[in-house]
Structure 1
């Protein structure tokens, strides 16, 4: 709060109190952390814990060296691409500014590395995972649009890396359905997906604000399954069965909700989720496997085209009045 002095017409000095809004601080006295950073930290912590439990307890089938190698490659490539982009754009790298800035910068490549290492299955070879991570990080710099005077990447990084590897190497697949609960049984088979569902839903509800997108995606998935059953005589149970799997829950809460490549407005989020679901249904009808990942990358491309079309559309300004309002007859005189 500051006090300023002003003068009336009669020469009398007065004081005016001007209130300057202050940034709300947390109990520790530090400024509040951006919601995006909070979400990234929670995502990174969740996927790290799940990978550790997966390799130590649940029976993940990839070699334990896979997530470690993916992390090293992801950190290195993300830093390299950021440095190259900063050199070309003449700006300061995001990883500079202390340990906190470096950690925040490495959160997305950390999530990308563990997602690719967990969801892909490259048999005995580690090179598909390495390629997926490199492509994922590169896509953030190669495919961008300027939105509100800032360059934004269009494609979901982890999903893009996975899709490119699946297209290039037919012998590479996605982790099998039993992968996430391989070494457990009984009630734990139900508790694991339930826990992931609850944690992911709370995270998206509180931090990312992507619940409309999730509603559109899940509702659209159910709708396309019913339509395939009614129109194309597909088995309804089989069409709905993926919803019960851990892979679907992970995709719903941690992949499709990527804040950097999905809309902000609730209506647009709903459209994004519905579009992904119906693209998935179309791919299934055409016999395309791994439809979840291909549907998401196609939807991201469609959204990018919509954004690009909006930028290319000419801006129409209101036509100025042909004639200005005439000045009052007594202009310059007393009213």
Structure 2
């Protein structure tokens, strides 16, 4: 006769930080993006219209549900739709009180996962693609949030604590670190070239848009390359392309590329990310 072995129970987390560290990285991302929204609303009154949030979330969830049923035959988790809807709310601001850009942008973001694929993988971070398209097609109706947090250190401290935890649990902290280090170095170079102060060039990274960009958009697992060295190289390349876009403002004449100045980091990722992903998929194949 064999004796049943006792089942070992996992110890319960003894603190909120340990509880958070035990969560699946996807749930940590969901918590982080919700936290950024709440902090941005409290700090800088992000939502100018109460209907923006339900409009963006509703469009993202509805699009995800319809396309997953039509193309895959079953409903998928709405977690991705929730993240895209919140991201669209945080990253864009309405022009002339318009709501439809949030609805259309959220729908485009989710639809890109199903329409723009290569070897079964989507190439763009959904929100990154949706915002890029909206800025190119309707620049007079939508703009990227450029507001920075106030002078209080607490909003940034809370977001960076959770953000670093998310990046560490998801094993993509090296991506955030590589981009941030490159941004700081390139900000110093731009300060020398343009005559602006280093603090001025560095300031954008303290805003809600960059918190989301650093901890979610450039680290999106489905759209990053497969190797650690490759992810670091892509992050540095994105920072370099972004710097080049920012320096367009110093040209004596306007060019068609000046449209990219609406959102340098968003467009830099939209250009570099898919190219890197295609190369990575082809290399693996």
Q: What is the TM-score with the length of structure 2 in the denominator? A: 0.80
Higher-Rg structure is 1
Greater than 4 Å deviation, 4+ residue runs: 24-28, 52-58
Gap change, CA 1:46 and 1:243, over 3 Å in 2: closer
Between Structure 1 and Structure 2, how many residues are aligned?
A: 256
Give the gaps of 5 or more residues in structure 1.
1-23, 29-34, 88-92, 96-104, 313-335
Gap change, CA 1:25 and 1:112, over 3 Å in 2: farther
Which of 9, 18, 25 does residue 39 from structure 1 map onto? 25
Distance 2:220 2:159 in 1: 16
Q: Residue 304 in 1 paired to residue 273 in 2?
A: no
The 10-residue stretch of structure 1 (296-305 or 111-120) with the greater mean CA deviation from structure 2:
296-305
Q: Residue 117 in 1 paired to residue 117 in 2?
A: no
Q: Residue 267 in 1 paired to residue 237 in 2?
A: no
Q: Residue 59 in 1 paired to residue 45 in 2?
A: yes
Equivalent residues in 2 for 1:1-335, closer than 5 Å: 26=10, 38-52=24-38, 54-55=40-41, 58-87=44-73, 93=74, 95=76, 105-123=77-95, 124-146=97-119, 151-171=120-140, 172-178=142-148, 180-181=149-150, 189-206=152-169, 208-230=170-192, 232-237=193-198, 238-287=200-249, 288-307=261-280, 309-310=282-283
Distance 1:281 1:49 in 2: 28
CA shift at 1:249, angstroms?
2.5
Q: What secondary structure, in the 3-state scheme, does the structure 2 residue paired with 1:160 have?
A: helix
Distance 1:226 1:50 in 2: 27
Gap change, CA 1:267 and 1:276, over 3 Å in 2: same
More helix by share: 2
Q: CA RMSD in A?
A: 2.6
CA shift at 1:291, angstroms?
0.3
Q: What is the TM-score with the length of structure 1 in the denominator? A: 0.69
Gap change, CA 1:66 and 1:285, over 3 Å in 2: same
Where relative contact order (Cα < 8 A, 6+ residues apart) is larger, the structure is: 2
Q: What secondary structure, in the 3-state scheme, does the structure 2 residue paired with 1:173 have?
A: strand
